[in-house]
Amino acid sequence: MAKPHSDPHVTTRLIGPFAQLVTLEGLPLKGSLSDKQLIVQQAAGIRVRGSEIIETGPFERLAKAARADKTEIAELPAGSVGIPGFVDAHTHSCFAGSRAKDYALRNSGSSYLEIAKAGGGIWDSVQQTRKASPEILEALLLKRIRRFLAAGITTLEVKSGYGLSVSEELKMLRVIRSASEKTDMDLVSTCLAAHTCPKDFQGNAQEYLQLLETELLPVLAAEGLTSRLDAFVEQSAFTPREILPYLRKGKAMGFHLTLHADQFTAGGSAVAISCGALSADHLEASGPSEIQALAKSEVIATALPGASLGLGCGFTPSRALLDAGACLAIASDYNPGSAPMGDLLTQAALLGTFEKLSNAEVLAGITFRAAAALALKDRGRLVAGHKADIAIFQTDHYNEILYHQGQLRPFQVVKNGRLYLSKNDSHDF
């Protein structure tokens, strides 16, 4: 929470000059966008107080005022382009172990679902994550968070879902909370206990979901561990009929909902719409009727190009979703199985190339539209009152950022109003 104006301990600083500041101001939440709609401020500065943006404007004017009242100036080198810090609204960054074996098997011809049926897949990561102590899991998560921050991501959603028992899901969510206390990254946790029916329940999905309702959800609420529930709606995980009572119960308890939907077969997006979910994620298998229905609804369609690249399958029909009027967010889905790359900027740039998205649509998808998928209204644009989270690139034009398809990394990241990286850190993976 931003401290009041008069608090003497809150630092005010001016950051700049920016050759270009792409503010994303005024762009609508839903529908297609053209690059002509982008507001680009030239020779601009951003005045921040604490972690909040106070104003943006011509750097010279702001610098004059700053010098007069002795406000600190965080000076940037010539040729700095600023865009809002990225929001990665769908990741499974808390896990132990590797699924490199699955990747090799898939590339040799086995399908994701065949591997899962043969005991690999999600269940393999569950075994490895259950074996890991909370300390190990937290260290792994914090290392990944540092990599994400260096890549310009300033808000990161992290799911549980590799515990798949009451105690192991709680272990994961407590690890995510503990990690969030040790990093500048804003972490948003989501309970994905309904990732798949655990083998311990021998296919009795109903019994497992009932247990979650009675034994897990009340603890999540009591400990304030998360305000979000996710589920994987798919023949191989939970069918719409199986999952609906669980989602309704969660909603009634006040949780926000999000779903893994229409990944291999359509069906999940209709569930997301019927229960008023914040977002429906994946949607690679969405057809014209699902696209129309999503566009008419308030559900945010989240494309996960990292899963398409990891599995070698088609991308979410992002162009069609935007043209129909949907809100399109783009997230990395970073996970050890289907999306091991974990590089949002690269993936968003590639999605733009294959789906013919404007730069404005791609940038909106990883900033304010992604923030909306997390119900966060205070970030994703460089405007007064928003969080001072900024990804800064050394280049003379913002078009260069997506053009380099993820290879142009941020030179500097501002998180909560403070310069976060030294130049060398940006390569510290």
Site of interaction with ligand NIG (CB under 6 A): 92, 121-122, 125, 232, 260, 263, 307, 333, 335-339
Binding segment for Fe ion (CB under 5 A), chosen from 6-14, 28-36, 292-300, 328-336, is: 328-336
The minimum distance between CB 393 and ligand NIG, in angstroms, equals 29
Minimum CB separation of residue 308 from ligand NIG in Å reads: 10
Tokens 């043969």: give the residue. Answer: 118
Residue type, 115: I
Report how far apart, in Å, the C-alpha atoms of 347 and of each of 26, 339, 351 are.
25, 10, 6
d(CA 50, CA 416): 7
Work out which of 333, 355, 361, 389 binds Fe ion, going by CB under 5 A. Answer: 333
Report helix angle 121-131 to 166-180, nearest 10. 70
> Which of Fe ion, ligand NIG, none does 337 bind, CB closer than 5 to 8 A by kind?
ligand NIG
Closest approach, Cβ 67 to ligand NIG, in A, equals 50
Closest to 94 (Cα-Cα) out of 226, 258, 223: 226
What, of Fe ion, ligand NIG, none, does residue 338 touch, CB below 5 to 8 Å by kind?
ligand NIG
- Residue count at the site for Fe ion (CB under 5 A)? 1
- Residue closer to Fe ion by CB (options 157, 290) is 157
Q: Which does 263 bind (CB under 5 to 8 A by kind): ligand NIG, Fe ion, none?
A: ligand NIG
Closer residue to Fe ion (CB): 92 or 409: 92
> Of these partners, ligand NIG, Fe ion, none, which one is at the site of residue 125 (CB under 5 to 8 Å by kind)?
ligand NIG
Residue 336, binding choice from Fe ion, ligand NIG, none, Cβ under 5 to 8 Å by partner class: ligand NIG
Query: C-beta of 278: minimal distance to ligand NIG in Å?
Result: 16
Using the rule CB under 5 A, is 284 a contact of Fe ion?
no
Structure tokens at 122: 């999600």
| No. of helices (H) and no. of strands (E), the chain | 17, 16
Distance separating alpha carbons of residues 293 and 299, to the nearest angstrom: 9
**Which token pair is 413?**
């990241």
Q: Which of 5, 4, 16 is nearest to 43 (CA)?
A: 16
Q: Which is nearer to ligand NIG, 318 or 335 (CB)?
A: 335
> Do the Cβ atoms of 192 and 233 come closer than 8 Å?
no
Contact indicator for 134, 171 with CB cutoff of 8 Å: yes
Q: Which residue is nearest to Fe ion (CB)?
A: 333
173 binds, options Fe ion, ligand NIG, none, Cβ within 5 to 8 A by partner type: none
Distances (CA, A) of 270 to 196, 229, 267: 19, 17, 6
Q: Which does 17 bind (CB under 5 to 8 A by kind): Fe ion, ligand NIG, none?
A: none
Place of tokens 């690999």: 120
| Chain residues that interact with Fe ion, rule: CB under 5 A | 333
